[in-house]
Amino acid sequence: MNSASSPADPVNPVNSIDPVNPIKSFERKKMLRIGLVCPYSLTIPGGVQSQVLGLARELRRMGHEARVLGPCDGPPPEPFVTPLGNSLPTAANGSTAPLAPDPSAALRTIRAINDEAFDILHLHEPIAPGPTMTALLLRLAPMIGTFHAAGDIAWYGRINKGVNWLANHLDVRVAVSPQAQELANRYLGGEYEILFNGIENELYARPNISRSSEKIVFFCGRYEPRKGLAELLEAFAKLSDDVKLWIASDGDGISLLKQKYAHDGRISWLGRITDEDKIDRLAQCSVFCAPSLHSESFGIVVLESMASGTPVVASSLEGYRNVGTHDVNAWLVEPGDIAELAEGLTRVLTDKKLAQKLSDGGLIRASELSMHRLAKIYVEMYYVVLEREQLAPDHHPKSRIVRLYSDRVLRKNPQV
């Protein structure tokens, strides 16, 4: 099961079932009640949040009853979201993550999971403090865990052998990239399927919006030093006067960059923008730039740009190379190399044939990593896990809390 496969060519989850002893009574066409649990605030833009919501939408289009449970700092973004309270800013990977590790969120998580009596739970970032950790601890239903993070994550560093057994509550462990697998395996051990992050290609088609005739570079993402915005601004200063830069970003420290480049009227500081505005701007700009310096697990921002038909200039990080190939569907440059970044942007902005090649290649790559394809793979995994539980319902011992309150647990038996 371990990891020779690439994110675009995952292992076949059907291979996890013993073909000599198939379970014929389980109905593969059965509609499943799926609970997707997200540790991050669903009202704050982020890569994991977009994956969870996008996967839920696709699962619902396939006829399954998928609900998303997670913190919300405002009205839930979708009708199928169950809010678990407000988030608290928490340091993670050089930035601040909107987590909900408080007791009230834990109680809401327990109540929601029990009341919904899900067939299966899909935990995204299972070890993150908050709802996913709570769900993992109790194991009120069979569980799949998807690990997204790479780099140095604070809560992984706090894990020791006294608590890493919690990951054994997962029936299947998935990593979105080899980098995410390496981080999870380093602290938790175990075997991992490597899948990919998916993209809802239809959301990024903007047939009524024309590409701008101006030369526009677009940067979008929360501000933190590792995202490379300072390096992009240095490179942008070397570009010709007819090039504009859109910066959709906010966060602690960005005001210093605004002050430093306040004299440059070519730069538009947009602050945090909505997903709709982001997609509209991707359809208008000339090139999207992802100049991160390190610690990118999977290039979802690169994939979003590809789905929009927008040429991409990005750092040649392993996480971005999971998605893009240099001079095929992206132009990749050495991380932190100001001169090479400026040269790459200039080349894509001025070479129309190159820009078109990258755009066409990006659209092909986005179609390969569609959310529909990803959802079908996950559904097959869900069925495999439920078949296993049907065969051996007690293969995961119940937690002490579940044993104490077994009369209140609504999901009593494997769903058949």
Q: For 83-110, what is the mean pLDDT?
A: 86
Residue 164: its pLDDT value, please?
A: 72
Residue 252: its pLDDT value, please?
A: 84
Q: For 125-135, what is the mean pLDDT?
A: 94
Residues 24 and 166 placed together within one structural domain of the fold? yes
CA distance 288 to 314: 8
Residues 210 and 318 placed together within one structural domain of the fold? yes
Structural domains of the chain, count: 2
Residues 117 and 249 placed together within one structural domain of the fold? no
Residue 355 lies in a domain: yes
Residue 222: its pLDDT value, please?
A: 84
Residue 82 lies in a domain: yes
Residues 293 and 148 placed together within one structural domain of the fold? no
Residues 147 and 285 placed together within one structural domain of the fold? no
Residue 6 lies in a domain: no
| pLDDT tens-digit readout, 255-287 | 999 999 999 999 999 999 988 999 999 999 999
Residue 321 lies in a domain: yes
Average pLDDT value for the chain: 87
CA distance 346 to 335: 17
Alpha helices of 198-249 — where are they, by DSSP H?
Answer: 229-236
Residues 45 and 190 placed together within one structural domain of the fold? yes
Residue 49 lies in a domain: yes
Q: For 48-56, what is the mean pLDDT?
A: 96
Residue 317: pLDDT above 80?
A: yes
Residues 225 and 296 placed together within one structural domain of the fold? yes
Between residues 38 and 149, the one the model is more confident about = 38
Residues 68 and 181 placed together within one structural domain of the fold? yes
Residue 1 lies in a domain: no
CA distance 34 to 222: 30
Residue 342: its pLDDT value, please?
A: 98
Question: Which residues form the domain of 349?
Answer: 202-368
Residues 127 and 250 placed together within one structural domain of the fold? no
CA distance 68 to 89: 21
DSSP secondary-structure letter at 210?
P
From the list 93, 95, 54, 52, the residue with the least C-alpha distance to 70 is 52
Residue 346: pLDDT above 70?
A: yes
* Residues above pLDDT 70, as percent of the chain: 83
| pLDDT tens-digit readout, 360-381 | 999 999 999 999 999 999 999 9
Residue 30: pLDDT above 90?
A: no
Residue 375: its pLDDT value, please?
A: 97
* Residues above pLDDT 90, as percent of the chain: 69
CATH number at residue 160: 3.40.50.2000
* 3 state SS of 248: strand
Residues 376 and 310 placed together within one structural domain of the fold? no
| pLDDT tens-digit readout, 209-253 | 999 999 999 999 888 898 999 999 999 999 999 999 999 998 888
Q: b or e along 339-355 (b: 16 or more beta carbons within 10 Å of the residue's beta carbon)?
A: ebbbbbbbebbeeeeeb
Residues 68 and 88 placed together within one structural domain of the fold? yes
Rounded to two decimals, the pTM is 0.83
Residues 60 and 168 placed together within one structural domain of the fold? yes
Residue 357 lies in a domain: yes
Residue 7 lies in a domain: no
